Amino acid sequence: MAKKIIVLGPRHVEDDEGRRPWAERAKAIKSIKGRGGRIESDNGGRILVVDDVEDEAALLRSLPDGAKVLAPGDDVASVMRTMEPQERLFAKALQVRFSQAFITQKKTRTVGESPEERELFSHTCTPPGED
């Protein structure tokens, strides 16, 4: 299995050929799962992060017209003509998530070392007075 980013085609109520994008999105998800793939992350719109078999060409053939398959770390925004605010935010989050700095930080971090975690772990789970 290999991680891939899928960007579906433009999001309009109905395009010139009468296709409905949400039906194409459902078809894409069904196709990915039918191939044994797994949806890892989904912005609820046109961007999906999937674990799928290695054959990128076969994956692309199984997706609706206009879909693009990108490698983790590729710039999602560069292949989308227009982006809604949540798509822009999700694309930026993917850039961080697949950056080498983030991957290294995540692999080397110790659970409980951040200031937020230390604060969280410094309290008991019992409400006051119920010791």
pTM for the full predicted model: 0.74
* Residue 123: inside a domain: no
pLDDT top residue among 50 and 131: 50
* Residue 91: inside a domain: yes
Looking up residue 47, the CATH number of its domain turns out to be 3.30.70
Q: Encode pLDDT of 61-116 as tens digits.
A: 888 888 899 999 999 999 988 888 999 999 999 999 999 999 998 898 887 788 88
Q: In three state form, how does the secondary structure of the chain look?
A: CEEEEEECCCCCCCCCCCCCHHHHHHHHHHHHHHCCCEEEEECCCCEEEEEECCCHHHHHHHCCCCCEEECCCCCHHHHCCCCCHHHHHHHHHHHHHCCHHHHHHHHHCCCCCCHHHHHHHCCCCCCCCCC
- Say yes or no to pLDDT of 21 above 90: no
As a whole number of angstroms, the distance between CA 95 and CA 77 comes to: 10
Six-digit token string for 76 = 């999602």
Sort strands 47-52 and 2-7 into parallel, antiparallel or unpaired: antiparallel
Nearest to 79 by CA among 3, 4, 7, 11: 7
In which domain, by residue range, is 102 found? Answer: 2-117
* Residue 130: inside a domain: no
- Domain count for the chain, please give it: 1
Q: Please, which residues have CB within 8 angstroms of residue 128's CB and are 6 or more apart in sequence?
A: none
